[in-house]
Structure 1
């Protein structure tokens, strides 16, 4: 996996800490704000904080009943500042759409607003129902002695309990796969007609990560619009990968061979688009949530019934082939981590049996669902995506930091590599390597200076 920019990471931690302090100082105003928005007649009480990867939430309780809600703010730093309003609006639209059109247990949005409407201008917010349950990943993972140990699926997990979890997630995925739009992008509901449509660019998880942690120039996304072809979307991703490699100063270190291997991987990824990126090129694009995983689900620890699915930020109408993939999280630990450790075969040995178990769960769900009638089943499409290698192409297309590892370990074929690149591209080698070595030298000096200053 490509490293994050150390200096950017440090700045993010500083921004997040400063924002947390602002929230602490504003607790009284926030509680009063929620109280007024919900008409609680000054009975609101502060119930504590919840911290996530991208958001900080406050629990606010109704003082005269058991009712309580969360008010959630995206954290500056973790979320690129100018995109915070856009992120929250997009997520609210998706949550409302899912509550209208699916049985997925999504929290009810009580109220929401942009930065200008928030208490003390803290940022865009969502006030939503507080959902009961325990983090599903905690219920599935192998017990560890330290929080520093990697999270991985418990190999001794009760198979019946895991089957029940898989069936529930399979039903969610089946429903999502049928929520189709004519373009790739963020959805919204027209206030006048009440119709849902794609209304803007697809703001994605990777876009946020590459800007906040990879020094990617955010203004290059400013003109991005929705897409009416999957292949156009993948071409845009390939250009993003190349720009990321060129601008992030520490992405290739000072190893020329490694730097060039990343250049080749990203250019070769683009060459795979005609093969892997034109499936269902035009037509219906279903809603896809890249973060639909146990970490963002709550469940009853006794029954394993999923009580809530959370965090639909960065959910958009996306290429249909994404919806045809198996969940990448079946082992909980990200596949790219296994690949970066040189453990592809170990990953496959563990993942393939879980893949079959999940497909069987999907088949059971499909057998009971009218959604599957008259078309190729989602379970069959999942198997085809895995067997064809498209699973890995899709996964690579969603991560600027992992595309190199995934290409070389899962997509590269013997005898290709530089062989599929044209002469003008290969002629860029000397200039590219000189640029990367100079970049890293400047980055290293800045990092060392920053670390000395911190001491």
Structure 2
């Protein structure tokens, strides 16, 4: 079973919007530097030093010739982020970084100011101005050397365990700190607690990575996403299950043939059936407590000093929310760098497990040592991570956050082969919906292929 491909027509429209915006950004470099200089009282000494492009943002490095420390202004890219959500995404991230700087020792950049598109130079978009931090990207140090720059990063098997332990110890400490932070609802935070003015509270909906991927690359109707915070994990997973099912209906090129439709139909309905088994509402606390969770807390978003092997900055807290506590109790998915869904598709589950499980055991040993110095949760976070892995809750959680990987993950990790094609696991009323869906998906695919051929043949002329 393969992971879901993007809707190339939706992706092309998003790319065109993004390219046009990047041209505007390049043409506005002098104005952007002047804007940063004015915001930071640089006295006209600001100079452009370079740019950095990430998955969702472009940043300009502005130096002040010794008058004050260098700064970075980061803009959320349209097309890569659902355009109407850019202000929301930036506001959520800036607030979480501020909250985490107040409540943890994680090395985070200091934010000087941030604002919506309406306050940016030439209306380029919502922005964050923060300290520029020196360092080398940790993933570049950990990855296996590769000849093709587009090949996914994979952990270098020749790294010695002592070096990995040094990094694991630091990251385990960050995860332990995050696991101690709780809110009583699921969603994004602000200082608008109605009961305690100025205190942090969950006041906004959870804007997630999964929602953004659906909204930018699949043709999913964005008006169908949640609009307010949630009060239980079961409610959250039920909404995710509904998103998976609507995604199945709306992405025109999601399935290649009738058999593919059936397998995705089974996987998505089975995900919904598995919610009572894997959802841990109030398992460890009553009333429910929801944990700060950043799905992208991984080496590609960390800087380090090669001489000391100390992490100097943890970056990119976009799509961070107070989320079901079980997410914070998962072992890290990134221990072999390459994403599990992609590894399963390209190399198979057996190969992934052979690479991942030794690193998991190493990480858990390090976590146990960190916990011995910083006791907190009972049962310990390391024990909860082990339970998540052994119970396969890790895979359920991962599938809930990765819409494009869901089907491949279900069939590789959550389906019992003795249940055959899985149709018998669904009730009769659900099974009766399959023939109409198969017909609909095949009609959609024919229309999509015709439109795709027409559009891309024009571009080739």
TM-score, normalised via structure 2 length? 0.96
Within 1, Cα distance between the matches of 2:434 and 2:348? 30
Structure 1 residue 396 corresponds to structure 2 residue 396: no
C-alpha deviation, 1:364, in angstroms: 0.8
C-alpha deviation, 1:429, in angstroms: 1.2
**Aligned residue for 1:168?**
170
Within 1, Cα distance between the matches of 2:66 and 2:185? 47
**Aligned residue for 2:109?**
107
C-alpha deviation, 1:148, in angstroms: 2.5
**Aligned residue for 2:311?**
306
C-alpha deviation, 1:66, in angstroms: 5.9
Structure 1 residue 224 corresponds to structure 2 residue 227: yes
More displaced 10-residue stretch of structure 1: 45-54 or 188-197: 188-197
**Aligned residue for 2:343?**
338
- Paired residues of 1:280 and 1:321 also in contact (CA < 8 A): no
C-alpha deviation, 1:146, in angstroms: 2.1
Structure 1 residue 206 corresponds to structure 2 residue 210: yes
More displaced 10-residue stretch of structure 1: 302-311 or 50-59: 302-311
Post-superposition CA distance 1:53-87 (Å, at most 9, x none): 00001111113436110000000000000000000
**Aligned residue for 1:286?**
291
**Aligned residue for 1:142?**
144
**Mapping 1:322-401, distance limit 5 Å:** 322-341=327-346, 343-372=348-377, 375-401=378-404
Q: What is the aligned-residue RMSD (CA, Å)?
A: 1.3
C-alpha deviation, 1:338, in angstroms: 1.9
**Aligned residue for 1:152?**
154
Within 1, Cα distance between the matches of 2:150 and 2:93? 31
User: Aligned with 1:2: secondary structure?
Assistant: coil
**Aligned residue for 1:80?**
82
**Aligned residue for 1:70?**
72
**Residues 383 and 279 of structure 1: is their aligned pair in 2 closer, same or farther, counting only changes over 3 Å?**
farther
User: Aligned with 2:148: secondary structure?
Assistant: coil
Structure 1 residue 243 corresponds to structure 2 residue 252: no
Structure 1 residue 186 corresponds to structure 2 residue 191: no
Structure 1 residue 406 corresponds to structure 2 residue 409: yes
C-alpha deviation, 1:46, in angstroms: 1.0
Counting matched residue pairs gives: 451
Within 2, Cα distance between the matches of 1:121 and 1:184? 31
- Paired residues of 2:45 and 2:67 also in contact (CA < 8 A): no
**Aligned residue for 1:435?**
440
C-alpha deviation, 1:193, in angstroms: 2.0
- Paired residues of 2:51 and 2:58 also in contact (CA < 8 A): yes
Within 2, Cα distance between the matches of 1:163 and 1:130? 27
**Aligned residue for 1:35?**
37
C-alpha deviation, 1:435, in angstroms: 0.3
Post-superposition CA distance 1:209-261 (Å, at most 9, x none): 0110011100111x5321111011000000000000110000102x1001110
- Paired residues of 2:232 and 2:281 also in contact (CA < 8 A): no
**Aligned residue for 2:199?**
195
C-alpha deviation, 1:24, in angstroms: 1.1
TM-score, normalised via structure 1 length? 0.97
Within 1, Cα distance between the matches of 2:312 and 2:281? 34
Within 2, Cα distance between the matches of 1:188 and 1:220? 24
- Paired residues of 1:188 and 1:199 also in contact (CA < 8 A): yes
